[in-house]
Amino acid sequence: MNKVLTIENVQTFYGHIQALHGVSLDVDEGEIATLIGANGAGKSTLLMTICGDPQARSGRIVYKGEEITGKPTYEIMRMGIAQSPEGRRIFPRMTVLENLQIGATILGPDRFEEDLAKVYELFPILKERERQRGGTLSGGEQQMLAIGRALMSRPRLLLLDEPSLGIAPLIVKRIFEAIRRINEEEKMTIFLVEQNAHHALRLAHRGYVMVNGRIQLTGSGRDLLANPEVRAAYLEGGR
Partner 1 sequence: MEPFLQFLINGITLGSIYGLIAIGYTMVYGIIGMINFAHGDVYMIGAFNAVIVYLVLGILGVTWVPLALVLVLLLAVVLTSTYGWAVERLAYRPLRGSFRLAPLITAIGMSIFLQNYVQLLQGARNKPLPPVIQGSFDLTSGSDFVVKLGFMQILIVVTTVALMVVFTYLITKTPLGRSQRACEQDQKMASLLGVDVNRTIGLTFVIGASLAAVAGFMVTLYYGVVDFYIGFLAGIKAFTAAVLGGIGSLPGAMLGGILIGLIEAFWSGYFSVEYKDVAAFSILVLVLIFRPTGLLGRPDIEKV
Give the 3-state secondary structure of residue 112: helix
DSSP category for residue 133: B
Residue 227 CA from chain centroid, whole number? 24
Contact 203, 180 (CB under 8 A): yes
| Closer CB to partner 1, 24 or 73, in the complex | 73
How is the chain split among helix, strand and coil, in percent rounded to 5? Answer: 40, 30, 35
Q: Under the rule (CB under 8 A), what is the footprint of partner 1? A: 51, 53, 72-74, 77-78, 82-83, 85, 89, 91-94, 98, 101-103, 105-106, 135, 149, 153
CB of 35 vs partner 1, minimal distance in Å: 18
CB of 202 vs partner 1, minimal distance in Å: 28
CA distance 180 to 122: 11
| Closer CB to partner 1, 114 or 239, in the complex | 114
C-alpha pair distances (Å), 83 with each of 49, 131, 132, 145, 161: 12, 23, 23, 12, 8
CB of 133 vs partner 1, minimal distance in Å: 11
| Closer CB to partner 1, 119 or 215, in the complex | 119
| Closer CB to partner 1, 79 or 235, in the complex | 79
CB of 85 vs partner 1, minimal distance in Å: 6
